[in-house]
Structure 1
Amino acid sequence: MERKTEKSFQLSAGRQRLLAETIRELKQEGRLDEEKLAMQHGTTSIYRHSLNVAYTSLWMMERWQIRLEPKSLVRGALLHDYFLYDWHQKDSAHRLHGFRHPKTALGNAQRDYHLNWKEKNIIARHMFPLIPVPPQCREAWIVCLADKWCALGETVEPMFHVKHFK
C-alpha cells in the first residue's frame, strides 16, 4: 500500500485564495497582527495557531465534504483566540484563561470587526467541552475540533525535537 504524502493535507487553490484574502482583510481592518506578539502553545504564536486552525478547518470541510459557509468558517477560525494578551504572563486577570478567553476574544473581535452570527458562535463556543455550552452551527463544531487537533500538535510536537542525549 502506498503511503500518503503531505499533499493529502493540501487545500484546493480556491480555498487557499480564500484563506489568504481573509487574512489580508482582517489585518487591514483590525489588529490580527498583534496575535504574533504572544505564544499560544509551546513555540507557536497565537497568530500561527489561528492560521493552523483556519487551514485545518477548511481542510476538514473539503475532506469530509461538509456544506458550510467557508468565509464564516475562516473568519471565525482566525478570530477564535483574538484575546490579544499573553496568557502566560503572571497576572490575576489571566487566571482561568481557558474558561474566560472566548468571551474576551469575542468582545475584541466585535469591537474591531462586523461579525455575523456564525462567526460569533465560532469564537464564543470553541472551548467546548471546557465551557459546557456546545456550538450551535456546523462551522463552530469544525473550528472546535480543528482547535483541539492543532493545540495537541503544537503542544506535543516540540517534545519530539528535544535532544535527550548530549
Structure 2
Amino acid sequence: MIKYIKSKLRLKIYSKFDLNAEYRQCVEDLITSPVVLSMQNFVQHSNLSCLEHCINVSYKSYILCKYLKFNYRFAARGGLLHDLFLYDWHTSKPANGLHAFTHPALALKNANMYFNLNDVEKDIIVKHMWPLTLKFPKYKESFVISFIDKYCAFTETCFRGTKNYIKDIGKIYT
C-alpha cells in the first residue's frame, strides 16, 4: 500500500533535477554546438551574455509551455536559438536597419545554416520580436516566446542580479 501511494505521489511531483534533465534532453544537441556556445561572447542585456539570455528565455518558455500543454520541446529549442544573430548589437549596427527589427531574420538565417528546424521553431525565431516585427506569430509557442523574451529582457535590464537567478541553469552548459 505504501509503495502504491509513493508511486502516485511521484507522478504529481517533479523534482528540480528531473525537470532540468528533461529540459536538457530537449536542447542537448543545440547547447553543445560551438555556434550556440559562441553566444557566450556577446553581451545581451546588462551583465548577461546572449547565451545566458537565450537559456533564460528557453527554460522559462519550456516551463510555461509544459504547464499549458503546448509543445514545450519546440519552445525550448526555438527559445534557445531566437537570438542567434552572432554580433554585439551594442557596438555593431546592421547595414539594413535597426537591430530590433532585423536580428530575427538574421537569427533564423544562422539557425538554418547549422540546424534542421521545424516550422514552429522557425516561426518562434523570426517572430519573437512581435509586435515590432509586424508579422503575426503563427503558433501558440511563438506567442509564449515573444512574451517571455520581453519579460526576460525587462528583468535582465532592470534587475542586474538576474544573472544569479539563472546561474544554476547556465552552469549545466557553460
TM-score class, shorter-chain normalisation, is 0.7 to 0.9
Equivalent AA in structure 1 for residue 36 of structure 2:
L
* Contact 1:29/1:113, CA 8 A, preserved across alignment: no
Tell me the C-alpha RMSD between the 2 structures: 2.3
Aligned length: 149
Distance 1:90 1:25 in 2: 29
Q: For 2:75, give the aligned amino acid.
A: L
Q: Percent identity?
A: 33
What corresponds to 1:56 in structure 2? 60
TM-score (ref. length: structure 1): 0.81
- Tell me, yes or no, if the aligned pair for 2:82 and 2:107 is still in contact at 8 Å: yes
Looking at secondary structure, tell me which structure has more helix per residue.
2
Following superposition, the deviation at residue 23 of structure 1 comes to 3.8
Q: What displacement does 1:131 show?
A: 0.8
Kindly indicate whether residue 127 of structure 2 is the aligned counterpart of residue 125 of structure 1: yes
Instruction: Give the deviation of 1:58 after TM superposition.
Output: 1.9
Alignment gaps of 5+ in structure 1: 1-9, 161-166
2:101 to 82, 99, 102: 99
Scaled by the length of structure 2, what TM-score is found? 0.77
Q: Secondary structure of 1:24's partner?
A: helix
Detail structure 1 runs of 4+ shifted over 2 Å in the superposition.
Answer: 10-15, 21-24, 27-30, 90-95
Q: Which residue of 2 aligns with 1:27?
A: 31
Give yes or no for contact 2:65–2:71 (8 Å, CA) kept in 1.
no
Match of 2:155 in 1: 153
Secondary structure, aligned partner of 1:134: coil
**Cα drift, residue 12 of structure 1:** 5.4
